[in-house]
Chains A and B, each alone.
Chain A
Amino acid sequence: MHDHEHDHAHEAAHAPIVERDALTYYERRVQAIQALLIEKGVVTADEVRRTIEAMDARSPAMGAKIVARVWVDPDFRARLLADTKAAVAEMGVDTGSLIKIAAVENTESLHNVVVCTLCSCYPRALLGLPPDWYKSLNYRSRVVKDPRGVLEEFGLDLDSDVEVRVYDSTADMRYLVIPARPAGTEGMSEEQLAELVTRDSMIGVTKARKPNR
């Protein structure tokens, strides 16, 4: 559709290089589309800026707070597993932008891992933007068919009697993995526990961090 290669060749032939020639075809398309949408009053520059700020404000720290609360508060855990959206709203997440979400809990005998084989569906409201590898064709291709091989690549070697459960989120549900609470964390504060909860552990390709002892 777009003559990408030709475009580059064309640019390269037209020295001297000025700043805009360093932009790729797609970078220029984005700039042009944004500029036109602003000219026509479809969006404002301020809206774009605020949307980017809101995106930056969302990070795995929110998911980590939720997981730590699950670990210390059995009542919250029960509420989260019963109605995830309502429970995360208690934690100050803006659930207006959230479509349906379910929490799935890892245990000693069950390990959940999430993928979207058709695109890259991800619980952005809780974890921010997905990492590059989550969106990669290789991850999407392999984790449904060889989850143990993929988890090994991420450093996770699971016993054969552990059930590995892959969630392929093909529709409007988003899945948040609640990693198992690591051993040796008795007496740690909720804030300290949250620091053990990594983004990858909430996708399910790793476990939560072990505490430094």
Chain B
Amino acid sequence: MDTRFQPGDTVRVRVDSPPHHFRTPVYIQGKVGRVAAIHGEFRNPETLAYGGDGLPRQPLYLVHFAQSDVWGQYDAATRDTLFIDIYEPWLEPVEH
């Protein structure tokens, strides 16, 4: 499987609101996290939702975030995290 990102990579979730069904919640858009795992390749829900075949399949990543990076008011003293599944087209690399 050819994937753009690897576990450990820092990524930003794209900010977008396309006029069709998509599975990337607004609250996580624009946030910076790290790839925790690659789940594999899955049919794309954005076309499956309209009777399409969902091809080409899209790599699906488990991405984790510090809660204090997701929510402005989250208690930064905790180590709390948020893990979420994001399809590859919704991720962009973060330059160091």
Contact = CB atoms under 8 A, between A and B. Distances in A.
In the complex, are there CB atoms of A and B closer than 8 Å? yes
Interface of A: 100, 117-118, 144-145, 147-148, 160-161, 163-173
B23 interface: yes
B83 interface: yes
Contacts of A145: 27, 71, 74
Q: What 5 pairs across the A-B complex have the smallest Cβ distances? A: A171-B85, A163-B79, A168-B84, A164-B80, A170-B23
Nearest to B39: A173
Per DSSP, chain B at the interface is mixed
B32 interface: no
A161 to B, nearest CB: 7
Interface residues of B, number: 27
Nearest to B80: A164
A129 B82 CA distance: 24
Contact of A171 (B23, B78, B81): B23
Interface of B: 23-25, 27-28, 39-40, 42, 45, 60, 62, 67, 70-71, 74-75, 77-87
Contacts of B42: 171-172
Given A148-B78, A164-B81, A169-B85, 13 more contacts: A144-B70, A163-B80, A164-B67, A165-B80, A165-B82, A165-B83, A166-B82, A170-B84, A171-B23, A171-B39, A171-B60, A173-B39, A173-B62
A100 B39 contact: yes
Contacts of B85: 168-173
A177 B81 CA distance: 16
B39 to A, nearest CB: 6
Contact of B60 (A117, A164, A173): A173
A170 B24 contact: yes
A35 to B, nearest CB: 25
